[in-house]
Chain A
Amino acid sequence: MNAVPRKLVAAVAVVLWSVLAPVSPARADEGEAISTVSEALTALIASKDDAGRPVLTEETREQLAALPTRVKSLLDDAVANEMITSAEHIATILGAGFNSDKLEIVLSDNCFLCHTDYESQGPDQLFSLDPAAQESPLHLNLRNYASDVHLRDGISCAGCHGGDPHEDMGHDFPPSWPTSQKRRTEDRSWIPEFCGGCHADAAVMQRLAPKLPTDQLSKFRTSRHGLVLMDGKDSRAAQCLSCHGVHGILSPSNPLSSTHPTNVAATCGTCHSDAEVMKGFVLADGTPVPTDQVEEYRGSVHDRALMERGDLAAATCNDCHGGHTSASAESGVASYACRSCHAANAMLFDGSNHKDAFDKHGWSECVTCHGNHDISKTSDSMLDPSKSKLCVSCHDKFSTPEKECSATAEKFFLKIASMSAAAEQAEHEIERLAKRGLDVEPMEAGLERLGDALKRSRSTIHAFDRDRFAEIAGEGDAVAAEMAGFIDTAREDYKTRRLELYGSILMIGLLMLLIYIRLRAWERDNGRPGA
């Protein structure tokens, strides 16, 4: 009789064990759980500091345990070859944030293994997680190196510095590497050619990054930066590393990259906002190159579009001045850059009578009225003769003060102001009518058309042609009149609703009164309580 319950208990125990055992928490306790690695590595993992605490944190041990077998095996090899001799070295490598693919690259790279070992390297040569604490140069940051775009393509230390990463020591630098300490630190003019060794080589780039262009070097040579650096031998001029960094180069599409559109102004400002760096650089007229461009740009219409709206197409430094082709404003390139985005306005301007005058005086066509780095949102008041001197500031000086010109500007302003006021009032009215539950669909469509006409009218001003302006503004007037009709109808509708309501209240109220009188009469006649 007892056999059955015993079997049952055994069966339940087996089932319980098989269910519970797999879910019992895995403990990566001091190396015991990482059973697939060598004894030497296990010993390193389990090593303790002077106070008897494990050197590797619980988190690092769990990270180790979760590594793919091939990476564990490379780690084993590095320990067996004595390239890794301490738990601290392991903690440094794993703490940098390499993914398993990149770990596979660096763990088989002796340059890397040696230059991350604080026992064998001095501060000047040591990559660490915190270079400032190690008193090392800041570019020896291992976390940055882990995110470098080159490492993703398998290009490790030897890719630039030369040598054989599988040998013990291989300081066999490439021929183009600077030979003297002076050249390495003070003369930076060798850098563009050095990077161009790969980036200007179509065959190499075709293999590694086929989408990238290979003309950066040739553009750079003709750029302002290139001329100052390579011809003028002035190492203050920007070269590849100045903008892209070193040992942590990211793709420009990465929001953390110094060349991502949202970071470009700050990157350029590193030099251009520094009076010390810019000292001695002058414009064609001999005046010093200003250092307030970035400050002016901040808060401009372009900066706000980029930084607040996240519109990556909004202009930043390189969109007007070029990137590798960096041009100064004097070259005239920057002033033409507006056209690449604001094409419609540029075409209107081309057909205007202002075009010849601007060309004759050599005025920058957009910048003269709108400014450059600190372009603020345009407003209708720019045309208001009572508030703005925009037109007269030139007309007074360079052209016979013609009444006709002032009259034209005033005409533009008054028409646009009236359309703008009409649109604003219509919007307000539509909102009010919508809240009252009226059908505002046709009005909303009209408002959109009115907004469109207003935008086109403002744009047409760039042609400085009364007839052309009148044609476009006339469309706006027609829409505004149509809207006024819709709004009047809706107001009438609402009036009717209210009248119908008052009628209903009157009728129902009267009915209630009659019923009440009749009830009271019945109650009086019947002498009932409640009477």
Chain B
Amino acid sequence: MKPARTSTGLRAWLEDRYQLEPLFQFLSHKEVPIGAHSMVWYFLGGATLFFFAIQIATGILLLMYYQAGEATSYESIRYITTKVPFGWLIRSIHCWSAHLMIVSLVIHMFSVLVLKAYRPPRELTWVSGYLLFAISLGFGFSGYLLPWNELAYFATVVGTDSVKSVPLVGEWILEVLRGGPDVSIATLYRFFALHVVILPLAAIALIGSHLLFVQRQGMALPVGSTKAPPGMPFFPSFAVRDLLLWLGCLLVLLSLAVFVPYGPGLPGVDWELGVKADPLMPAYPGIKPEWYFLWVYQLLKEFPPHLLGLEGPQLCLLLVSVLMVFWAAIPWLDKSARNNRPSPMFTDLAFAAAYFLLFLTLKAWDIGAPEGAHDEAAALITARWSAWAVLAVAAVFSAFRAIRHGHHYYILSLAAVLHAFGHGILGFSYLVAGASTAAIALGLALAGGFFSSTASAERNG
């Protein structure tokens, strides 16, 4: 009898040694569901992965010239951007890709939330994605300090200072984070280790698990479906489209790096090297963290020094922690989605969260305020502009949701908009406006829940 393995070439050679046929079989039969909603959302994870790969590649290239040290960090980055052939390109791509990775990651997370792809059995895919998001923020925070320039130094001083508010162990965490009581070169060394060794290892392990989960379980079906709709073959149809998207992303990265090498110039999205850090200089006003931390930065500013017997920052961090834990636990909290039923409340929650983050970020960006003004009057102008912007964005999105998707649940997003309206336009304090609208939303949600359960009881009855 003729042996089965007669084909020649690399595949046969590998098959002889590793018996990869089941893997090829799996790939050739794997399909991506199509039809229920736009395919766009399936590509965002891939885009994020591409930006991460770019980060690893450009990071390794930067590592060949970067020298961490008080007298070398700033100088080596300057050398990379001015003297090393294509050094400017590599650094610029590294920075752009870092920001675009977070952008695509955030959109990916929101799309998963809206499409309810986290429902069983995919809870751990959500959690691993959530952890990857946290790691990305860690990458951003640790990488920001490495050029050892003035802006990065003071942003790190302000950023690390906020952990002091953690009860009991805050001071200790601060010292561990900084490697001493102040931000010093010791801080840079540990941020460097975090940025190039610890976080990449953790990220690769988590990306591995995340991809494994996705491959093992396949893409989530639309809510309500039990049978897979006709799908697109994963290989080559989906994978090659992914490749095309990656090549497109590469083109965008190259163009941005050539035409806008230091970012668009917005606070928190700017990586011009500027002046070398001098720990003895006083911090200048208007120091801001990177854009994805601006909402926490602004929320901290909205809290008074003391509230409810706690320190303002403590209470703020407590609120942020509660929100974070809630976000991680969404697959378990969304009971409707768990039962494969539509869950309009959590869909609306995604939009409410987006408006909440947008309002704080715009406020932190000082939009509308006169150049360089940081006083009370400027803050009021910014709050008004931000509120109008949120109102406009919410109007467009709500109209789109109502017309295109027939959504009918808007309680949470309405609360987020009312919050912005009450604070920015009516002039209530951020917390008073927030507490009032939260109470209204809770009341409406409970009433809605009561009516719907009554209605379903009537139907069942």
Contacts and interface: CB of A to CB of B under 8 A. Distances in A.
A437 B92 contact: yes
A339 interface: no
Interface residues of A, number: 23
A160 interface: no
A519 B237 contact: yes
B81 A515 contact: no
B230 A529 contact: yes
Contacts of B243: 515
B95 to A, nearest CB: 11
A437 B254 contact: no
Interface in B228-256: 230-233, 236-238, 240-241, 243-244, 247-248, 250-251, 254-255
Nearest to A436: B261
A78 to B, nearest CB: 43
A512 interface: yes
B29 interface: no
Determine which residue in A438, A497, A511, A530 has the highest number of CB atoms from chain B within 10 A of its CB, and name it: A530
A497 B258 contact: yes
B82 interface: yes
B83 interface: yes
B244 A515 contact: yes
A421 B192 CA distance: 45
A461 B242 CA distance: 70
A351 interface: no
B237 A512 contact: no
A437 B262 contact: yes
Interface residues of B, number: 26
A509 interface: yes
A172 interface: no
A501 interface: yes
A501 B254 contact: yes
Contact of A504 (B88, B237, B254): B254
Contacts of A519: 236-237, 240-241
B137 interface: no
A485 B72 CA distance: 30
B223 interface: no
A363 interface: no
Contact of A528 (B83, B92, B233, B248): B233
A487 to B, nearest CB: 15
B230 A437 contact: no
Contact of B248 (A501, A504, A512): A512
A435 interface: yes
B207 interface: no
Nearest to A498: B258
B372 to A, nearest CB: 17
Contacts of A438: 88
B199 interface: no
Contact of B258 (A501, A511, A528): A501
B34 A512 contact: no
Given A528-B232, A530-B34, A505 B251 contact: yes
Given A437-B261, A505-B254, A509-B251, A529 B83 contact: no
Nearest to A505: B251
A281 interface: no
Interface string A279-323: 000000000000000000000000000000000000000000000
A173 interface: no
Contacts of A528: 232-233, 237
12 contacts: A435-B261, A436-B261, A437-B262, A501-B255, A504-B254, A508-B247, A512-B244, A519-B237, A529-B34, A529-B232, A529-B233, A530-B233
Interface of B: 34, 81-83, 88, 92, 230-233, 236-238, 240-241, 243-244, 247-248, 250-251, 254-255, 258, 261-262
Interface of A: 435-439, 441, 497-498, 501, 504-505, 508-509, 511-512, 515-516, 519, 522-523, 528-530
